[in-house]
Protein backbone atom coordinates (compact mmCIF):
# COMPACT_ATOMS: atom_id res chain seq x y z
CA UNK A 1 0.00 0.00 0.00
CA UNK A 2 1.17 3.49 -0.86
CA UNK A 3 -0.48 6.73 0.25
CA UNK A 4 -0.80 8.81 -2.93
CA UNK A 5 -1.97 11.89 -1.02
CA UNK A 6 -4.52 14.42 -2.28
CA UNK A 7 -4.44 17.29 -4.77
CA UNK A 8 -3.88 20.80 -3.36
CA UNK A 9 -7.16 22.11 -1.96
CA UNK A 10 -8.48 18.56 -1.64
CA UNK A 11 -8.35 17.36 1.92
CA UNK A 12 -11.22 14.94 2.35
CA UNK A 13 -10.08 11.89 0.39
CA UNK A 14 -8.60 10.45 -2.75
CA UNK A 15 -9.42 7.20 -4.52
CA UNK A 16 -7.41 5.30 -7.09
CA UNK A 17 -9.59 3.53 -9.66
CA UNK A 18 -7.11 2.03 -12.13
CA UNK A 19 -3.42 1.24 -12.56
CA UNK A 20 -1.54 0.27 -15.72
CA UNK A 21 1.50 -1.99 -16.13
CA UNK A 22 3.86 1.00 -15.69
CA UNK A 23 2.37 1.67 -12.22
CA UNK A 24 0.56 4.86 -13.25
CA UNK A 25 -2.61 5.34 -11.17
CA UNK A 26 -5.71 7.40 -12.02
CA UNK A 27 -8.66 8.35 -9.85
CA UNK A 28 -10.24 11.26 -8.00
CA UNK A 29 -9.27 13.61 -5.20
CA UNK A 30 -12.16 15.33 -3.43
CA UNK A 31 -12.94 18.29 -1.20
CA UNK A 32 -16.66 18.80 -1.96
CA UNK A 33 -15.79 18.63 -5.69
CA UNK A 34 -14.21 15.61 -7.38
CA UNK A 35 -11.02 16.32 -9.33
CA UNK A 36 -9.44 13.77 -11.67
CA UNK A 37 -5.80 12.90 -11.00
CA UNK A 38 -2.92 10.91 -12.39
CA UNK A 39 -0.09 9.56 -10.22
CA UNK A 40 3.15 8.79 -12.07
CA UNK A 41 6.82 8.71 -11.08
CA UNK A 42 5.97 9.71 -7.50
CA UNK A 43 3.95 12.80 -8.48
CA UNK A 44 0.20 13.36 -8.10
CA UNK A 45 -1.16 15.76 -10.75
CA UNK A 46 -4.61 17.05 -11.61
CA UNK A 47 -6.06 16.40 -15.06
CA UNK A 48 -7.66 19.02 -17.31
CA UNK A 49 -11.42 19.45 -17.00
CA UNK A 50 -14.16 21.13 -19.03
CA UNK A 51 -14.15 24.92 -18.83
CA UNK A 52 -16.70 26.67 -16.66
CA UNK A 53 -17.40 27.69 -13.13
CA UNK A 54 -17.45 24.11 -11.85
CA UNK A 55 -14.53 21.78 -12.38
CA UNK A 56 -15.61 18.27 -11.53
CA UNK A 57 -13.83 15.29 -12.98
CA UNK A 58 -13.03 11.66 -12.30
CA UNK A 59 -10.46 9.48 -14.09
CA UNK A 60 -11.85 5.95 -14.30
CA UNK A 61 -9.28 3.95 -16.28
CA UNK A 62 -5.85 4.07 -17.94
CA UNK A 63 -4.35 1.78 -20.56
CA UNK A 64 -0.73 0.79 -21.12
CA UNK A 65 -0.32 3.60 -23.67
CA UNK A 66 -1.17 6.15 -20.95
CA UNK A 67 -4.60 7.07 -22.34
CA UNK A 68 -7.01 8.01 -19.55
CA UNK A 69 -10.82 7.87 -19.74
CA UNK A 70 -13.30 9.37 -17.34
CA UNK A 71 -15.89 12.08 -16.91
CA UNK A 72 -15.67 15.85 -16.69
CA UNK A 73 -18.42 18.35 -15.97
CA UNK A 74 -19.11 22.02 -15.48
CA UNK A 75 -22.29 23.94 -14.74
CA UNK A 76 -23.57 23.26 -18.27
CA UNK A 77 -22.63 19.70 -19.22
CA UNK A 78 -21.15 16.35 -18.22
CA UNK A 79 -19.08 14.56 -20.83
CA UNK A 80 -17.04 11.41 -21.26
CA UNK A 81 -13.41 12.40 -21.63
CA UNK A 82 -10.18 10.95 -23.00
- What percent of the chain lies above the pLDDT cut of 70? 90
- The pLDDT of 53-75, averaged and rounded, is 87
| DSSP 8-class letter at 50 | -
Within 10 angstroms of residue 49's Cβ, the number of other Cβ atoms is 22
Mean pLDDT of the chain: 88
Q: Of the given ranges (3-7, 13-17, 18-22, 36-40), which has the lowest mean pLDDT?
A: 3-7
**C-alpha distances out from residue 23 to 26, 27, 41, 54, 59, Å:** 10, 13, 8, 30, 15
% the chain with pLDDT above 90: 51
pTM of the model: 0.87
Query: How far apart are alpha carbons 30 and 28 in whole angstroms?
Result: 6
Amino acid sequence: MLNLGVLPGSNNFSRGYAINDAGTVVGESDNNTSRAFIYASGTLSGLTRLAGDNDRGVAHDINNNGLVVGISSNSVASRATL
